[in-house]
Every structure is written in structure tokens, then in C-alpha cells.
Structure 1
Amino acid sequence: MKTRTRWDAVCEVSDLIPDSGIAVWTEDGPVALFYLPDRLPALFAISHTDPFSGSNVLARGITGDLNGEPVVASPLYKQHFSLRSGECLEDPSVQVPVYRVLLDGDRVRLEISVARSEVAA
């Protein structure tokens, strides 16, 4: 069965901070949205939850580049997560969910899975 999705508006472009992240709330839970204006694409979204601590902190991490890979370093234990794949570079067996991002005029939208109850309705 194919998963159904929708594009939810989560913030405005003016809410974004260059080379940093913000946390937004979705039906999937908290998401860390990153704006890296010197890259293409410039917008990335991963889960805000650090899988090593269970804390919602990834949007507060430091962004960077490791061998051409855009990353965020968790502010707690400093693991690096790829902003493209969600994979932890120090432990490839650990990964955070990644969300597709769309710029719609001044709105930033994330592709979110539709709950089964909504599909049945």
C-alpha cells in the first residue's frame, strides 16, 4: 500500500535563520528545518529528535559541511547527521527521518505522511 502524503505549510521564509535551524511542529512531531543559503538546495528538514538522547534539540545544532555533505552536529553528544539522508556519520546504523521541503512563494512546506484515519475518511 502506497503511503499518502500532503504538503503542510510550516513557516514563512522570514522565519528562517541563515546557516541555522528552527524547530517546527507537524503531525509527525517536531521537525528541524535548516536554511543554508549558500547551498543548492538551500532548505533541509530532518526530525528534531536526537536519537541518542531522545531530546528535541537537533534544530539547535551547529550546521556545517563534512567532505561535501551538509550536516548538523547534535548539541548534546556532537554526532553529525546528514541533512540529505538523516544518517549519523559516526554510526551509520542510526538515522533520523528526513522530510522533503518545498518553497511555495513566501511559505515553506514539508511533505508529511497522511494519517491512516484521514485516508479512510
Structure 2
Amino acid sequence: MSHDLNPLNWVPVCALDDIVPNTGVCALVEGKQVAVFNVAQGEGGVYAIDNYDPCSQAAVLSRGLIGNLGERIVVASPIYKQHFDLRTGECLEAPEHSVSAFAAQVKDGQVWVAV
């Protein structure tokens, strides 16, 4: 994703090196828990979605397992194992439980998220 950094929209989260490849971390971005993932497989990149899993009603998505289902890069919730698309936030098993997805990028080794 290529965006100009606008201090009103983009928030620095952490250094990319602070996120182990193919894992996620939880960050507080403008008062909201956001799960930020460093995906090393395929095209790779950073992705950000809500950390709150509506199926289990717990803030746990940052601790889920990253994988892919077909062309979709997903995280499996660590509780009930629903898959959330990291690009869109869609819950594949129950679309009514989809979460928000946020723009994310790396600039000069720093992860930025826009909410």
C-alpha cells in the first residue's frame, strides 16, 4: 500500500522488527485496540484489523495464527478458529461477525496504521 503519511490520519505503531514475521501484535491506536500483523509469506506486508473477536467476545485476534485460504491471507481466531481476512476484515465462516480493516504500511522501518 502506498499512501502519503498524514499526521491527522496515520499513527506510528512500532518498528517492523518489533513484530516477529508471521505473527501479530496488539496496538492501541487512537483509543482502539488494533491487531497488526507482519506477514512474510506470499506478497507479504503489514495488515491491521480490529483486535476484538465478535464470536468469542474477547480481544484476541492479534494472537491468532496467520495462514491463507486460497488467495486470501487470514488470521484464525485463537478461541473458536474463525478465519478473518486480513485485507478486508471479513469473517469467512460468519460474515455477520466481520471486523474492521485498516490501512497499514511500513515507512523507514516503522509500521503506520490509519484509523
TM range (shorter): 0.7 to 0.9
User: Gapped runs of 5+ residues in structure 2?
Assistant: 1-7
Partner of 2:67: 64
Structure 1, unaligned runs of 5 or more = 113-121
Mapping of 1:1-121 within 5 angstroms? 6-112=9-115
Cα shift readout 1:31-53 (whole Å, capped 9, x = no counterpart) = 11111122325111101110112
Q: What is the CA deviation profile of residues 46-65 of structure 1, one whole-angstrom value per residue up to 9, with x for unaligned ones? A: 01110112211001001100
Higher share in strand: 2
- C-alpha RMSD of the superposition: 1.2
Give the fraction of aligned pairs with identical amino acids, expressed as a percent: 38
> Contact 2:60 / 2:77 at 8 angstroms: preserved in 1?
yes
Q: Which aligned segments of 4 or more residues in structure 1 are displaced greater than 6 angstroms?
A: none
Counterparts of 1:92 and 1:68, CA distance in 2: 17
Structure number with greater Rg is 1
- TM-score when normalising by structure 1: 0.83
Query: How many residues in Structure 1 have an aligned counterpart in Structure 2?
Result: 108
In 1, Cα distance between equivalents of 2:34 and 2:109: 19
Tell me which residue corresponds to 2:3.
none
Query: TM-score, normalised on structure 2?
Result: 0.88
CA distance in 2, matches of 1:86, 1:14: 24
